[in-house]
Amino acid sequence: MVEKLIKPNLSAHELTLATRVIAGEVNAAARAISLIENGSAKVKELISELYPYTGKASIIGITGVPGSGKSTLVDRLTTVIRSAGHSVGILAIDPTSPFSGGAILGDRIRMSSHWNDQGVFIRSMATRGHLGGVALATGDSTLVLDAMGKETIVIETVGVGQDEVEIVDTADIYVLTLLPDAGDSIQALKAGIMEIADIFIVNKSDLPGADSTVESVQAMLDLQEYLPEAWRPPVLKVEAMNNQGVDTLWETINKFITCCPELLVKRRRTRVENRLRHIFASELTAEFEDAFSGKKLALLVDAVAARKTDPYTAVAEVLKKNPEHQSFQS
Amino acid sequence: MVEKLIKPNLSAHELTLATRVIAGEVNAAARAISLIENGSAKVKELISELYPYTGKASIIGITGVPGSGKSTLVDRLTTVIRSAGHSVGILAIDPTSPFSGGAILGDRIRMSSHWNDQGVFIRSMATRGHLGGVALATGDSTLVLDAMGKETIVIETVGVGQDEVEIVDTADIYVLTLLPDAGDSIQALKAGIMEIADIFIVNKSDLPGADSTVESVQAMLDLQEYLPEAWRPPVLKVEAMNNQGVDTLWETINKFITCCPELLVKRRRTRVENRLRHIFASELTAEFEDAFSGKKLALLVDAVAARKTDPYTAVAEVLKKNPEHQSFQS
C-alpha cells in the first residue's frame, strides 16, 4: 500500500501525511484539512494520493435555517450512529469572515459530549473564496475523512443559500432542519434548497406550530413534479435537545441509503462531475490571478472603470492576447 | 448616440433593445434583464452597448436575516427616495429553485404601493448557476437599470451567506437589516457579512430586545480592527412597517455617499476587478462545458468515480491535452 503511494515528485513530508491519514491518524487528518482550508498548493497531490482510498463512507449533509438547532441535532445523531457501531467524521462548515479570516464559532463549543470518543473525529472548517471554492474545500475535506476510515461522515452547514446547494453536491443524503414556524419553511423554499432535501426535520417540535409546519412541507411536496419515484422525502418531528426522534432520523437515513441505489449512484456521478467543474474553474482562475497581478490588472480596471472599454470586451481581449494562456495548448 | 452603437455584428433587434434601454423604456429594460436571467448569449453585446451609459447611479444593497422585513423596508425607502425627486430602480434577487427554475415570490406581491409610479422600475430576478453567476447577473442587471437612467438603484437580497457577500460587490453602500434578537446578530456574524455593512438596521424595533441588539452590534463594531477611518457604521432603529426611521436611513445613506469619496472610488474599482474575475471564470467554464459535453464528460466521470484517476489529475490532463484550449493563444 505504501509503495503504491510513492511518486517521484512527492516529497517525504507529504508522503508521510497521506499515509498517516490513511492509517487513521487524527493529527494528520487535522493537518490535511488545514492545508485544504488554507488553499495550499500541496492539496492537489495530497488528494491524488488519498483518492484511491475513498468512496466507502456514507455522507450525510445537514443544513437548516439559523437557530434550528443543527449543532445539537448533529451531536445527538452522532451518539446514535456510535451506538450502531460506526465511526463518525464530522465537518462543520462556517463561512469565513472576510476580515478576521476565521470561523467565529469553532470546535471549542461544538460537540463537547464526544471529545473523549476515539471513534469520532470533529472538525469545524472556515471556508473562504468564491467561485465554487466552498464546495471544493468541503469535498476535499470529506475525502480526507473518508480516506482516514470514517464510516459515516456528517457535514453540517450554516444557512440555506446557494453555497449550501453546492455543498449538497458533497453528500449522499441531504437533511434539512426547519423550525415550527410556517415562515421558516417559506424562507427555505425561497432559497431553493427545499427541493433538494431527502429528509425534512421539524426540530424543536415541542414548540407550538410543529404540526402545521409538517403539513405545509407535505403540501409543498404534493406540488412537486420532480420527486424521485423511489423516495418521497419524509417529514420528521424531532426534539434533538430532548433526544426525541433522533433514532427515527437515523433509521430513515439508512432506509434512504438502502432503498435507492440508482439514485445514490446517479448522485455520486453528479458529484464527480461538479467537482471536475469546480477544479477546472479554480485552476483557470489561478491562471487569471497569475496573469493579472499588480500593474497589469490595475490598468485593466482603470480602463473599465473609466468606461473606455466594458468588462466583457476586456476579458475577451485577455483571453485572445495573453501569452500566458499558451500554456493550455498541448 | 445611435450611430455610436452600431457594430457590424450586431443585429437590428439587439440594436433596438440597447437603444430602447438607454431611452428608458420599461419593456426594453425588462427584456434585457430576462436575457441576463436566462444566461442568453446576447448579454455580452448588450452590456457592451450599455456600458458607456452607466456609472451615474447610486447603488444601495440591502440584505438581512430571513423575516427581517427587507421588502417592507425597501417599499418605504422607495417612497422617501421618490419624495427626494430621484427615480428608483429596484432589483430583488431571489435564488432560483433548482427544480422549478423560477423565483417563488415574484413581482406580484412586492411593492404594490409603487405600481403606478413611472419613476419606479421594479424587477425581481431569479438567479441560477454557480461560480459567481449570481453576482455577475446582479451586476449586469444593475447596469441595465443604470443605463436606463435610474438615479438610485436598490438591490434587495435574501439571506446572509457567501452569495450575498458577492452581491455586495455590486453596491456602493451596504445596509444590513437585523431583528431585535441577539441570536440573529450572531448568525449574521457567522456568515461573515456583518463586517461588510456600512449601515446596520434593527428593524421592527418596537419589538422587545431592540436596544440590546443595538448594543451588541456596537460592541462588535468596537472589536473590529478594519473599520474605515472615515466611517463607523451607524446602527439605526427602524420600524419600516410604521414608517419610523426610514427618513433617517435615507439621510444616513446620503451622508455615507458624500462623506467618503475615496472609499467609494476604491469600492467601485474592486467591483470592476471582481466583475472581470467573474466574467473570466464564466467564459472558461463555458469552454469546459463545450469541450466536455456528452460522452467525453461521461467517460471522465466514469474514470474518476471508479477511482481509476482522481479529479485533480483528470482536470490537469484536460488542460494539457484538450485542443479546444488552443483557442486561448494569440
Q: Under an 8 A CB cutoff, do B98 and A192 touch?
A: yes
**Three-class secondary structure assignment of A147-214:** HCCCCEEEEEECECCHHHHHHHCCCCEEEEEECCCHHHHHHHHHCCCHHHCCEEEECCCCCCCHHHHH
Q: Under an 8 A CB cutoff, do A195 and B98 touch?
A: yes
Q: Under an 8 A CB cutoff, do B328 and A328 touch?
A: yes
pLDDT score of B53:
94
B9 contact A CB<8A: no
What is Dmax (Cα atoms) for chain A?
A: 66
Q: CB of B2 within 8 A of CB of B9?
A: no
pLDDT score of B147:
96
ipTM score assigned to the predicted complex: 0.73
Q: Under an 8 A CB cutoff, do B190 and A95 touch?
A: yes
What digits encode the pLDDT tens for the residues A268-301? 888 888 888 778 777 777 777 776 667 778 888 8
pLDDT score of B98:
38
Distance CA A106, CA A108 (A): 5
Residue among B177, B278, B319 with most chain A CBs within 10 A, to mutate: B319
Residue B271, pLDDT > 70, answer: yes
Calculate mean pLDDT across residues A217-243. Answer: 85
Name the minimum distance, in Å, from the CA of B83 to any CA of chain A: 31
Q: How confident is the model at residue A39 (pLDDT cuts 50, 70, 90)?
A: confident
B308 contact A CB<8A: no
| Least CB–CB distance from A279: residue in B47, B283, B311 | B311
| Out of A126-130, B215-219, B323-327, least confident range | B323-327
Q: CB of B127 within 8 A of CB of B133?
A: yes
| Out of A311-315, B156-160, B207-211, least confident range | B156-160
Across all residues in chain B, what is the average pLDDT?
79
Q: Under an 8 A CB cutoff, do B314 and A268 touch?
A: no
Name the minimum distance, in Å, from the CA of B105 to any CA of chain A: 7
Cell of B319: 488542460
B44 contact A CB<8A: yes
pLDDT score of B229:
75
Cell of B178: 437585523
Residue among A301, A302, A307, A321 with most chain B CBs within 10 A, to mutate: A301
Q: Under an 8 A CB cutoff, do A273 and B297 touch?
A: yes
What digits encode the pLDDT tens for the residues A55-110? 999 999 998 776 788 888 999 999 999 999 999 999 988 654 333 333 434 443 45
Q: Under an 8 A CB cutoff, do B288 and A277 touch?
A: yes
pTM above 0.80, yes or no: no
Residue among B100, B162, B318 with most chain A CBs within 10 A, to mutate: B162
**What angle do helix axes A294-305 and A311-321 make, rounded to 10 degrees?**
150
B278 contact A CB<8A: yes
| Out of A83-87, A186-190, A308-312, least confident range | A186-190
Cell of B9: 455584428
**Three-class secondary structure assignment of chain A:** CHHHHCCCCCCHHHHHHHHHHHCCCHHHHHHHHHHHHCCCCCHHHHHHHHHHHCCCCEEEEEEECCCCCHHHHHHHHHHHHHHCCCCEEEEEEEECCCCCCCCCCCHHHCCHHHCCCCCEEEEEEEECCCCCHHHHHHHHHHHHHHHCCCCEEEEEECECCHHHHHHHCCCCEEEEEECCCHHHHHHHHHCCCHHHCCEEEECCCCCCCHHHHHHHHHHHHHHCCCCCCCCCCCEEECEHHHCECHHHHHHHHHHHHHHCHHHHHHHHHHHHHHHHHHHHHHHHHHHHHHHCCHHHHHHHHHHHHCCCCCHHHHHHHHHHHCHHHHHHCC
Q: How confident is the model at residue B175 (pLDDT cuts 50, 70, 90)?
A: very high
pLDDT score of A150:
96
Q: Which residue segments constitute the domains of chain A, with CATH numbers given?
A: 1-53 (no CATH), 54-264 (3.40.50.300), 277-328 (no CATH)
| Least CB–CB distance from B105: residue in A52, A190, A300 | A190
Cell of A80: 446514535
pLDDT score of B99:
35
Q: Under an 8 A CB cutoff, do A161 and B165 touch?
A: no
Calculate mean pLDDT across residues B117-127. Answer: 80
A316 contact B CB<8A: yes
Q: Which of B270, B161, B72, B263 is nearest to A304 (CA)?
A: B270
Calculate mean pLDDT across residues A146-163. Answer: 82
**Cβ neighbours of A321 in B, within 8 Å:** 330
Residue A23, pLDDT > 60, answer: yes
| Least CB–CB distance from B272: residue in A54, A280, A304 | A304
| Least CB–CB distance from A130: residue in B47, B132, B285 | B132
Calculate mean pLDDT across residues B184-213. Answer: 77
Q: How confident is the model at residue A187 (pLDDT cuts 50, 70, 90)?
A: low
**Cβ neighbours of B264 in A, within 8 Å:** none
Question: Would you call B196 helix, strand, or coil by DSSP?
Answer: helix
| Least CB–CB distance from A161: residue in B161, B186, B297 | B161
Task: Compute CA B286 distance to the chain's CA centroid, rounded to the nearest angstrom.
Answer: 22
Residue A138, pLDDT > 70, answer: yes
